[in-house]
Amino acid sequence: MSSGSSVGAAKDEHHHGQGVSVSSREVDTAAQLAAGLSEPLVPEEALRIRRKIDKHVLPLMCVLYWVQFMDKTTLGNSAILGIQTATHLTTAQYNRLGTVFYLSYLLFEYPQNLALQRFPVGKWMSVNIFVWSIALASHAACKNFAGLFVARFVLGMCEGSITAGFMIVSSMFYTRNEQTLRVGYWFLMNGTAQIISGFISFGTLHIHTKGFEAWQWFMVITGVITFILSVAYWFLFPDSPTTAWFLTMDERVKAIHRIKENQTGVENKHFKKEQLYEALRDPKTWLFALFAALDSIPNSLTNQQQIIVSSLGFTYLQTTLLGCIFGVVEIFTIFTGVHLSAHFKNGRAYVGAIYFIPTLVGIAVVNLLPWSNKAGLLVGQYMTGVCTTGFVLAVSWVGTVTAGHTKKVVTNAIMLSAYCIGNAAGPFLWKAQYKPRNHVPWAVIAACYIVCPIILLTIRFILDRENRKRDASIDDSVTEEYFIEKVTKDGKRIEIKVDKVCHISDHFT
């Protein structure tokens, strides 16, 4: 049985009827704030606090995820706005720009996760948003591949903090059941980003200024939007429930008490080596990583979709508007997927696996229909976006089955690193000799989407088996109490009993 408690004692042995005393340095921030709180939280009060959190946290998360996705896919939109011609990019160089973003993301993923543990989450993310807004706007000044390479590298370095930060914030503010829906809500903003960026692209095509092309306007406009958001995040986004500016001290305690059922801790700035080793030994860590890698290889479609649609014979103006439909499909599928998953107990794996089926059908349509059937090929292309739900559910799932702040940070870093590897490898599929049908890339994508649902079901099987073992081995005669050691103003050492905010088991299906 894994030991993922962020309130964990230095020893593993159980004490019958005795207390375990731990240093406040080893106890997460939430436990220290809630020390001594034992009264149950009234459901109505818990609901009121959750609504207050939703009001102040969720909109900011949704807007940032929209902006993040829009910014990292600016390359795809710019492809039909003239960036390739203006900067003299070959097909291979264009694909490398898609790869360098994720290579940078990968290189800085673990440092970003460490920084998210060491520094206030909201402030750290706001600094990264500010830097990437400058890098994004700087695209407009690039004249060649080298300049774009540097700009994309900085963009990937900074954006690596966002998904990892959101996974941590979601687990700090929401219960396990709530996380599935909330992660789904901010993830479906990817679809919103495709719609909004499509309209921005459409608008920039109508801007006619001497010496400044449509793709340059697109980069500047998106850069300004990101800059404004970085300022908002610095002042408005909370670092944790223990310091949330919109909660009173009493509400902060109740917000922590509300998520006790997560048993995964809130925040601990002390890096625990034992949790690092545990994460590395945990098979589900690597299964989630494998899923993330394989599911991300097809993401290279993001930078190819506009090119593919355009190759079907549509004008640039038509292509920008048709690209908005990809966003509509993504919003619909993620929204329905997370709600179905929340409705059916322990249904993440099943729902995620089922949502891969329409995508595989879409891939078959794209490859088997004659090239003259433009409408059918376009519909098949839209169907390939349905499986996004699987990754969304995996992201919310990994946070709810990982106990201990350090273990959570390490697991997130490994999963997102695998995500980067998949995204970095994907662009190499799209070689000039495969155009226009691209049968080879589609075959690889189909293979990935066949294996991914199998991995989800395997993870569920392992967790279910571990749950059964855990339930069979529970000894009700063993009681264990936890105390925080504190030093009073007059130098006295006292022990304060705390609720066991984190459980030693982290197996939840």
Report the alpha-carbon angle 161-164-169, nearest 5: 110
Q: Name the residue with tokens 């080879």.
A: 440
HEC profile of 430-483:
CCHHHCCCCHHHHHHHHHHHHHHHHHHHHHHHHHHHHHHHHHHHCCCCCCEEEE
Q: Which CATH superfamily is domain 39-263 in?
A: MFS general substrate transporter like domains (1.20.1250.20)
Q: Name beta bridge partners: 19.
A: 481
What does residue 354 show for φ and ψ, rounded to 5 degrees?
Answer: -65, -35
Of residues 481 and 61, which shows the higher confidence score? 61
Q: Which CATH superfamily is domain 274-474 in?
A: MFS general substrate transporter like domains (1.20.1250.20)
Q: What is the DSSP string of 342-356?
A: HHSTT-HHHHHHHTH
Q: What does the block give as tokens for 376?
A: 């059918």
pLDDT score, position 309:
84
* Angle (deg, nearest 10), helices 58-72 and 214-236: 150
Q: Name beta bridge partners: 498.
A: 482
User: pLDDT for 68-99, tens place per residue?
Assistant: 888 888 887 788 788 888 999 988 898 888 88
Give the SS3 label for residue 496.
strand
**352 pLDDT tier (thresholds 50, 70, 90):** very high
Q: Give yes or no for a contact between 149 and 456, defined as CB atoms under 8 angstroms apart.
A: no
Q: What does the block give as tokens for 485?
A: 């050691």
Domain boundaries, the chain: 39-263, 274-474
**271 pLDDT tier (thresholds 50, 70, 90):** low
Give the SS3 label for residue 207.
coil
The answer to whether the 39-263 and 274-474 domains have the same CATH topology is yes
Instruction: From residue 1, give the alpha-carbon distance in Å to each of 287, 401, 428, 507.
Output: 18, 13, 41, 9
Count the neighbouring beta carbons within 10 Å of the beta carbon of residue 145: 17
Question: Is the predicted pLDDT of residue 36 greater than 50, yes or no?
Answer: no
Instruction: From residue 138, give the alpha-carbon distance in Å to each of 80, 150, 469.
Output: 19, 10, 55
Q: Name beta bridge partners: 23.
A: 485
pLDDT score, position 105:
86
Which of 112, 176, 196, 104 shows the shortest CA–CA distance to 409?
112
Question: Is the predicted pLDDT of residue 318 greater than 50, yes or no?
Answer: yes
Q: Name the residue with tokens 């994004």.
A: 136
Question: Is the predicted pLDDT of residue 196 greater than 80, yes or no?
Answer: yes
Computed over every residue of the chain, the mean pLDDT equals: 81
**If residue 33 lies in a helix (H) or strand (E), which one and from where to where?**
helix 29-33
Instruction: From residue 478, give the alpha-carbon distance in Å to each of 9, 15, 122.
Output: 16, 7, 40
**294 pLDDT tier (thresholds 50, 70, 90):** very high
Torsion sign (Cα): 191, 197, 198, 200: positive
Q: What is the DSSP string of 110-145?
A: HHHHHHHHHS-HHHHHHHHHHHHHHHHHHGGG--SH
CA distance 343 to 395: 18
Count the neighbouring beta carbons within 10 Å of the beta carbon of residue 39: 7
Q: Give yes or no for a contact between 234 and 69, defined as CB atoms under 8 angstroms apart.
A: no
User: pLDDT for 107-138, tens place per residue?
Assistant: 888 888 888 888 888 999 999 999 999 999 99
- The arithmetic mean of pLDDT across residues 377-386, rounded, is 90
User: pLDDT for 454-478, tens place per residue?
Assistant: 999 999 999 888 888 877 776 555 5
Amino acid residing at 299 = N
CA distance 77 to 68: 14
Q: Name the residue with tokens 């998360």.
A: 61
pLDDT-above-70 percentage for the chain: 83
Lowest mean pLDDT among 58-67, 126-135, 186-195, 402-411: 402-411
